[in-house]
Amino acid sequence: MTSFSEMATIDSILASGRLSSLLALENLAGNMQALPVESVTLCSPILNPEKILLMAVNYHSHSKEFSQKDSTPKEPYLFTKFRNSLIGPGDPILVPKVSQQADWEVELAVIIGKAGKNIPKKDAMNYVAGYAVSNDISFRDWQFSTRRPDGTSMLGLNWVKGKGLDSSFPLGPWLVTVDEVPNPHNLGISLTVNGKTRQQSTTGDMVFQIDSIIEYASKGMTLRPGDIISTGTPEGVAAFTGGPYLKDGDILEGTIDRIGTLRNPVRAE
């Protein structure tokens, strides 16, 4: 019988290349003494992803608040975060000393379950292990820092510094397998700051759906088990609603139907 220690993390299960291992873990857990979830500290469901990819402006409502013009992308636009940004449920989001404009973006995260490259759209959902709630914490004073006084951009948005600082990617509260989410494009998605609703929409407002995103992301680039693709955010971010930006003591709660609520406190660095 496979021991629990041999299947200790979701990363190692996915790395085995067999999505059926998730079912094996479920069966294993069913034979073990359960612990109340309130008695344990949950980590990020994925601890060591090779890639964290995120979609820019992938909700129609966010596109409208982002620009008065038609800013809906003609094709998917991806940017990246790194493992330094990854934290779990309950972990503090740090407002760094170098930023005064830390913002929120609740998103549906897709967890890749098996390796693939140049994946056709019709097969793309077969590469999904499951879903989680993510929060694309953004530092707007860094993201827009490349702009000249006349408002034009020298090199485009500063995606790496504006998105990739420490603790800027909460993920959780757990991985929900694909069989539990029959239609990921019909889920309520919302975010509250200190109990006040700031974002509320449905995943049906996505510009590009998950199969199109996977097809695009895998062109010329191998997606590997445990890779994370965060699929964009709806309207209601601080940058385009007049703030206020995040501060020490705030509580963020991102919720997606059928998945759960990802709760993180905010702390000043």
Could you list the pLDDT tens digit for every one of the 269 residues in the chain? 344 444 568 888 888 766 555 666 666 666 667 778 888 899 999 999 999 999 999 999 988 887 756 677 889 999 999 999 999 999 999 999 999 999 999 999 999 999 999 999 999 999 999 999 999 999 999 998 776 677 667 778 899 999 999 999 999 999 999 999 999 999 999 999 999 999 999 999 999 999 999 999 999 999 999 999 999 999 999 999 998 999 999 999 999 999 999 999 999 99
Between CA 121 and CA 64, with CA 60 as vertex, the angle to 5 degrees is 150
Let me know: does 214 contact 114? Beta carbons within 8 Å. no
Let me know: does 204 contact 60? Beta carbons within 8 Å. no
User: Which residues lie across from 164 on neighbouring strands?
Assistant: none
User: Which residues lie across from 266 on neighbouring strands?
Assistant: 93
49 domain residue, yes or no: yes
Let me know: does 164 contact 84? Beta carbons within 8 Å. yes
23 domain residue, yes or no: no
252 domain residue, yes or no: yes
Cα separation, 233 vs 12, in Å, equals: 29
Let me know: does 160 contact 85? Beta carbons within 8 Å. no
- So what's the pLDDT on residue 146? 73
6 domain residue, yes or no: no
- So what's the pLDDT on residue 115? 95
Q: For the domain that residue 259 is a member of, what is the CATH number?
A: 3.90.850.10
For 85, the token pair is: 């940004």
131 domain residue, yes or no: yes
User: Residue 144, exposed/middle/buried by CB under 10 A (0-12, 13-18, 19+)?
Assistant: middle
154 domain residue, yes or no: yes
User: What's at 93, amino acid-wise?
Assistant: I
Q: Report the chain's C-alpha Rg in angstroms.
A: 18
Let me know: does 267 contact 93? Beta carbons within 8 Å. yes
HSE (side-chain half, CA atoms, 13 Å) at 231? 28
261 domain residue, yes or no: yes
- So what's the pLDDT on residue 8? 65
- So what's the pLDDT on residue 63? 86
Tell me which DSSP letter residue 23 carries.
H
For 59, the token pair is: 């909700």
32 domain residue, yes or no: no
For 92, the token pair is: 């503090």
3-class DSSP state of 95:
strand
Pairing of strands 86-87, 93-95: unpaired
Let me know: does 65 contact 240? Beta carbons within 8 Å. yes
Counting the structural domains of the chain, the total is 1
Cα separation, 122 vs 120, in Å, equals: 5
Phi-psi region of 220 (alpha: psi -120 to 50; beta: other; left: phi over 0): left
Strand spans (E) along 115-168 = 128-135, 138-139
Range of the domain at 244: 42-268
Other beta carbons less than 10 A from residue 34's beta carbon: 7
